A and B are shown apart, each in its own frame.
Chain A
Amino acid sequence: AQTVTQSQPEMSVQEAETVTLSCTYDTSESDYYLFWYKQPPSRQMILVIRQEAYKQQNATENRFSVNFQKAAKSFSLKISDSQLGDAAMYFCAYRRALYNTDKLIFGTGTRLQVFP
């Protein structure tokens, strides 16, 4: 069975600084997707960034980038130039690539605090 592990329950960063959130996963599949979702107090899950396992190049979205290490099954999120609005719960998630509608498997989350 696939599992996703986030070992940092809480992280904090100063505004304008950089922070990295860690995620490891376990799967026997060779083709899959990895995601980072942000969950603010409004509770809605918002997609931050997505990585396709067959792509070696790390995904980037503006201030957000990932370090995808397939062999190590590691998928960390780097937030550069942190802003107060980045404060939220962040969840790492995995999905098989077999079907576009396959379920997401989530980690336990990391609470990110941003200090001015």
Chain B
Amino acid sequence: EAGVAQSPRYKIIEKRQSVAFWCNPISGHATLYWYQQILGQGPKLLIQFQNNGVVDDSQLPKDRFSAERLKGVDSTLKIQPAKLEDSAVYLCASSLIRGRRKNGYTFGSGTRLTVV
């Protein structure tokens, strides 16, 4: 099966600019996650979708971050305006709702954002 696709792979922006990341999950995976991975730390969940509804966005800085998942498939994550501390890798992952698959999660290769 095709993996989780993310773009762009790299992005450099100046602080106070806006940026958007795109994720296409594995076909049939109803749950989609955005994780933020700051250098030297483990990934931290920003937002979780089930189909096109939000399940958990408790760690999303809503004053500057927004995310949507139209039609329960692709998702975009936006930052506006960006701050220096937003420099990180943004990982997208998807999983099935049901099933006992050994690896419930599949991660994309992430977008590395540098804010200067």
Interface residues of A (CB under 8 A from B): 4, 42-47, 50, 91, 93, 100-101, 103-104, 106-109
Interface residues of B (CB under 8 A from A): 3, 30-31, 33, 40-45, 48, 50, 55-56, 89, 91, 93, 95-100, 102-105, 107-110, 112
Nearest chain A CB to B98's CB is how many angstroms away? 7
Residues of B within 8 A of A108 (CB): 40-42
Nearest chain A CB to B3's CB is how many angstroms away? 8
B91 touches A43 (CB 8 A): yes
CB closest residue in chain B, given A89: B42
Complex A-B: 8 CB contacts under 8 Å: A44-B107, A46-B107, A47-B105, A91-B42, A101-B31, A104-B105, A108-B41, A109-B42
A103 touches B89 (CB 8 A): no
Nearest chain B CB to A55's CB is how many angstroms away? 13
Nearest chain A CB to B17's CB is how many angstroms away? 23
Nearest chain A CB to B113's CB is how many angstroms away? 12
Nearest chain B CB to A99's CB is how many angstroms away? 9
B45 touches A103 (CB 8 A): yes
A45 touches B107 (CB 8 A): yes
How many angstroms between the C-alpha atoms of A43 and B95 in the bound complex? 18
How many angstroms between the C-alpha atoms of A101 and B40 in the bound complex? 26
CB < 8 Å neighbour of B43 from A42, A45, A50: A45
Nearest chain B CB to A39's CB is how many angstroms away? 9
Nearest chain B CB to A91's CB is how many angstroms away? 5
CB < 8 Å neighbour of A43 from B30, B42, B102, B109: B109
Residues of A within 8 A of B30 (CB): 101
A100 touches B33 (CB 8 A): no
CB < 8 Å neighbour of B110 from A44, A46, A50: A44
Nearest chain A CB to B41's CB is how many angstroms away? 6
Residues of B within 8 A of A100 (CB): 95-100, 104
How many angstroms between the C-alpha atoms of A44 and B5 in the bound complex? 11
